[in-house]
Amino acid sequence: MSGFQTLLRKEVLRFGKVATQTVGAPVLTSLLYLLVFSHLMEGRLRVYDAVPYSAFLVPGLVMMSMLQNSFANSSSSIIQSKMTGNIIFVLLPPLSHWEFYCGYVLAALVRGTVVGVGVMAVTLPFVDISVQHVTWILAFALIACALLGTLGLIAGMLADKIDQVAAFQNFLIMPLTFLSGVFYSVHSLPPVWQDISHLNPFFYMIDGFRYGFFGVSDVNPVISIAVAALALAASAGFALAILKTGYKLRF
Amino acid sequence: MSAAIEIAQVSKRFGSLQALDSVTLEIHQGEFFALLGPNGAGKTTLISILAGLVKADTGVARVMGFDVVRDYRQSRRALGVVPQELVFDPFFSVRETLQIQSGYYGLRANDDWIDEVMENLDLTSKANTNMRALSGGMKRRVLVAQALVHKPPVIVLDEPTAGVDVELRQGLWQFIQRLNREGHTIVLTTHYLEEAETLCERIAMLKNGRLVALDSKANLVKRLHNLRLKVRINGVLPDSLTGIDHGLQNGAHLLWLKDYGELEPALAALRMAGCEILEMELEQPDLEDVFLEIMKRESPS
């Protein structure tokens, strides 16, 4: 398995060497979101009785940055390697499709987690936040990062050009994240939009993640974790299947 | 002992292009082998099939006896490929690049060999330089080094000297020849036919995806006309020689001879016809002549 370990290490080094851009920038963005939104919304919106808006917002921002950065890590790595041609350095060695999958997705998970911890750390001075169930927090964080890392891997593999990955990110990942209840509880939406929100797997991940902090949520966290795990299993199965055939990697 | 490379009835089609058409080829262990052909002949496709980068439509390819699809782990471990494209990973230094590449093959403590490879390819002074900062020739050396990190018994070099200065070319070939003496099988594609001529024992030629020649260098060169007699004469070429005349070149007749034994009769015929020889030159055919001849002959009519 040391081929896999090397791939994982290489992928972590890859974003680690440009950490200002890959970790620093998303942390700063989240901090700006928090400062602006909490200032604007404080007192106007109260989602759960005991939770002030700014505290409600923080887990959403943490989860959103984890989702986006996990996706960005694997998708940008694969598409850049395909564009520059250096993808052959991982295609020539005897790496199995499992090693390939785990290498890229675990690196995405590492980046997502590092960014998530970073966002948490910089927002802590501004909000008073409790932690009710650390296990749920970790479970949702890990599954969410793995899911988005997998989706990024798939996007990178299917895309022929960088703008196709950007389209995947801007027209699918971003809307799904924004509409999943990062900035609001879906309970504050009209009934139609509440129903639509329940079709979004990202909604369950953010809702369940929040449950870990506040002990209250829109949906039972067991259901949420099941939805998230199912989404991960399905996308991982798809990713492994196309990796095994070498679709758009080996011609 | 299994063949270093075994290709049996391999075909590959890209859309309407038949890149490889039922190619069968065996390369023995320890050989220094050249794969020649014009652009688009299918050389790179064939190498990509061996490396597992391209999947053959039909046929079987093996490296050191291992099927490139079924036993891909063993076959890839046995193969080192220097790709034609000048690719690199801009995030890493030369040493990091080589350490990472070693790791992919499951090699952890590989620094002694990495140092030796860098030394031989004159990369030591650039070990800690980022790949982005290297010149084209230096990047090419790193590609060669990357192909060698796992000491593969079979080394395939796809146009390794394209756009590379003379000094590196010589250094590279010295190193590759050393590896060949130590038992590594070397397969080379090149546009510089003199490289193939000086280095390789056996040669395959591809054209339009088909194997059009496969023989030792000596046999290939012998197989065509063997000698060319260039004579500039005063007078008319006698009838007995018009059959082997291949036209005028700068005012000189180009006579094709099978061997040296035909030289004296040809000169005698000229003397008997009263021709005065103004200039004379005897040319041995080289691989380039053979190559051009075979490619011309195999042209679709």
Q: What is the pLDDT of residues A189-237, one digit of tens each?
A: 888 888 888 889 999 999 999 999 988 888 899 999 999 999 999 999 9
Question: Which among A141, A158, A9 has a CA at the least distance from the CA of A69?
Answer: A141
**Judging by DSSP bridges, how do beta strands B245-249 and B202-207 pair with one another?**
unpaired
- The tokens describing A15, both together, are 């974003």
Whether residue B158 contacts residue B69, with contact meaning beta carbons closer than 8 Å, is answered with no
Question: Min CA distance, B89 vs chain A (Å)?
Answer: 6
Is A244 touching B (CB cutoff 8 A)? no
pLDDT of residue B21 exceeding 80, the answer is yes
Q: Give the pLDDT mean for A161-183.
A: 89
- Cβ of A78 under 8 Å from any chain B Cβ? no
- Pairs from B124-130 (Cβ < 8 Å, separation ≥ 24): B126/B94, B127/B93, B127/B94, B127/B95, B128/B93, B128/B94, B128/B95, B129/B93, B129/B94, B130/B90, B130/B92, B130/B93
- Quick one: pLDDT band at residue B225, thresholds 50, 70, 90? low
Across the interface, whether the CB atoms of A88 and B53 are under 8 A apart is answered yes
User: What does the pLDDT average to over B208-213?
Assistant: 85
A91 inside 8 A of chain B by CB: yes
- Tokens standing for residue B60: 């079987």
Contact B106 A2 (CB under 8 A): yes
pLDDT for residue A43 is more than 70: no
Any idea what the Cα angle at residue B251 is, between residues B246 and B254, rounded to 5°? 25
Q: Which of A29, A103, A112 is nearest to A71 (CA)?
A: A112
Predicted TM-score of the model (pTM): 0.84
When mean pLDDT is compared across A30-34, A55-59, A85-89, B220-224, the lowest value belongs to B220-224
What distance in Å separates residue A170's CA from the closest CA in chain B?
26
Q: How far is C-alpha B60 from the geometric centre of its chain's CA atoms?
A: 22
Nearest-CB residue to B105 (from A9, A86, A93): A93
Q: Is B41 helix (H, G, I), strand (E, B) or coil?
A: coil
The alpha carbon of residue B186 and the mean position of all alpha carbons in its chain are separated, in whole angstroms, by 10
* Residue A43 burial by Cβ neighbours in a 10 Å radius (0-12, 13-18, 19+): exposed
The answer to whether B258 and B264 are in contact (CB under 8 A) is: no
Q: Are B11 and B59 in contact (CB under 8 A)?
A: yes
B99 versus A37: the higher-pLDDT residue is: B99
Question: Encoding tokens for residue A178?
Answer: 């924004």
Give the minimum alpha-carbon distance from A4 to chain B in angstroms, rounded to a whole number: 7
Cβ-count burial B239-267 (b if 16+ within 10 Å, e if not): eebeebeeeeeeebbbbbbeeeebeeebe
Please state the ipTM of this predicted complex: 0.84
CB A152 within 8 A of CB A73: yes
User: What would the pLDDT profile of B125-143 be if each residue is shown by its tens digit?
Assistant: 998 999 999 888 888 889 9
